[in-house]
Amino acid sequence: MNNRTAKFWPTTALAAMLLAGCGSESSPSPSSGSSGGASGSGGAGGVSTGGTAGSADASVTDAGSSGGTAGAGGSAGKGGAGGSAGAAGSGAGGGAAGTSIDGGTGGTSVDAGRGGAAGSGGASVDAGRDGGAGASGAGGSSIDASTDIAPPPNDVDTGADTIVTFKNGVFWNDTQGKRIEAHGGGFIQVGKTWYWIGEDKSHNSGNFKGVNCYASTDLVTWEFRRAIITRQTAPELDAADRIIERPKVIYHDASQRYVMWLHWEGASYAEAAAGVFSSATVDGAYTFHKSFRPNNNMSRDDTLFKDDDGKAYFISAANENADLAVYELTPDYLDIKSQIATLWVSNWREAPAVFKQNGVYYLVTSGATGWDPNQAKYATATSMAGPWSALQNLGNNFAFDSQSTFMLPVVGKEATTYIFAGDRWQDPDLLGSKYIWLPLKVNGTTVTLDYYDQWKLNVTTGRWTPYDGFLPKANWKIVYVDSEETANDGRAVNAFDDNAATLWHTQYTGAKPGQPHEIQIDLGQAYRLRAMQYLPRLDKDPYGIVAGYDFYVSASTTDWGTAVASGTFASDRSAKRVDFPEKSGRYIRFVSRSEISGSALTSMAELDLVGAP
């Protein structure tokens, strides 16, 4: 049993209370899409939902799509809330004001245009507020393209379809230019909007600060909504040693409430419990119900999964992380109905994440190695209760320096892409942690995960493509390499095999030649080159990561001339792109002058080039 007795509402009493007030709610179900531009009607004593933007890619494209019509306010009475303001329309000429969270507050235009027009009455996010339609909001403020606020690093293409580019290995910012803080996160789609809910690590500590919520219609442009759980949410959360990890949210249709389960901890990870919360709105204030050990088991890294039939499941690491327990939830999603499986006893799996395709369940996990990356694995089953298949490797031996947190389905008109959403933890510098999102390739019961520094997703169709803008490498050949590790496949050709899991590594068995090291490559034809990119190794080991470098382009291997680029790379694992004045040549030469820790070794996962014939 857990060593903290928490105050909580009895499940049956809470369920009765939730169901009693749900008849007049007009919040949309997360599983159903609402048409843009329509006016939401307020129910008596309920919450009125405003119209969404007029087109699917409103607020993210350069086309001037109009915002949705404001929803009508609920009639006066207990719980009657104001109507939502219309969502912000995009366009260089300035869209309408964005949705107001509280009645009468002006919206904010997040597009790089001019200020939006005045917003209609805002909806109240708190059920139980006395009725009456919200007053008109003030004019929306704008974030102008000329300001110094940094845009998100990911991109959105304009056009009929919404096409986005994900860029891994860099920090991701929200629409205000602030770093996104939603680690160990979960996702839920409500209508046309995705919500990203995760841990705030901005205080650079593993201890609890808050659970943040962000919203997006395209998966790259994220608006910060609010901290939906803080130390003020409940007295039990305000303990000095409180730790909250891996929050996940699903929607309970009958009560029209959003239910969150998470990992609830105290000092030295001794509590090992689950925490349960709920809210009337996905981005509203959540109510704490209880913390407990499911079926008297320890409970740490977790995930939450809602099936097609409405049943819900909680999966968490148990027995000091040695086992993985699967529980079916009660019909109200607020407690455990039964433990239906114990998986991979003494295999030490954590960070579970589930998705389902064509009647098959896929469960992705990591090993239990603290903050350090390790081999991701997956298994399949046709029932959550099992039997589950044997574990299979996913990605390279350190999951491209990441740990799974959620498998995010993007359902388009033509296909569904499942995104491996992971964290690239930096310990002890948790503030420096990043997000790694990669597309899964699913073929029957086989799942493949490859690394892409950048890749594109057509959110409209659901189809993805690799995108890096780099030159093809099919005709590249080694001209010269001063050292390569042949005993353990550190061959030089691995530097351009389009496989981030393999390495060019200088010799370390027997002789260990010192710096500098170099590789010379014949591109097969002449190109006008303007940039190169060095990708460091993405596994656990730091050996050979390049610090000082020189890069040459030439039409001859006997006259390299002056380096087109020289410098010192940052000592992290992000891809290092270096732009330089355009120069034509068929041959390139990369020289490693030093290694980040001063060792004699050099390693390289991939070398890429930008240019044209």
Least confidently predicted of 452-456, 547-551, 556-560: 452-456
Residue 597 has pLDDT above 90, yes or no: yes
- Phi/psi for 19 (5° steps) reads -70, -30
Span 469-493, mean pLDDT?
95
Q: List pLDDT tens digits, range 213-264.
A: 999 999 999 999 999 999 999 999 999 999 999 999 999 999 999 999 999 9
pLDDT given for residue 13 in this prediction: 37
Instruction: Give residue 427's pLDDT band: very low, low, confident or very high (50, 70, 90).
Output: confident
Is the confidence at residue 19, as pLDDT, over 90? no
Adjacent-strand bridge partners of 522? 477, 587
Sign of CA dihedral 459, 465, 466, 471: negative
306 Cβ contact partners less than 8 Å away, ≥ 6 residues apart = 250, 251, 312, 313
CATH number, domain 155-466 = 2.115.10.20
Topology of 477-612 in CATH? Jelly Rolls (2.60.120)
Which of 338, 345, 287 is closest to 321 using CA atoms?
345
Please provide the average confidence, as pLDDT, over all residues in the chain.
Answer: 81
pLDDT score for 554: 98
Question: Is the pLDDT assigned to residue 106 strictly greater than 60?
Answer: no
Give the per-residue pLDDT at 363: 98
Determine the pLDDT at residue 422. 98
| Ramachandran bin of 241, using left for φ above 0, alpha for ψ from -120 to 50, beta for the remaining angles | alpha
**pLDDT at 30 (0 to 100):** 60
Instruction: Return the H-helix or E-strand segment holding 578.
Output: strand 576-592
**pTM of the model as a whole:** 0.67
Q: What is the pLDDT of residue 467?
A: 77
In the numeric block, the tokens 């919360």 are attached to 277
**Sole residue written with tokens 């803008």:** 469
Widest distance between CA atoms in the chain: 85
User: Nearest-CA neighbor of 585 among 442, 436, 479, 465?
Assistant: 479
Can you give the residue ranges of every domain in the chain? 32-144, 155-466, 477-612
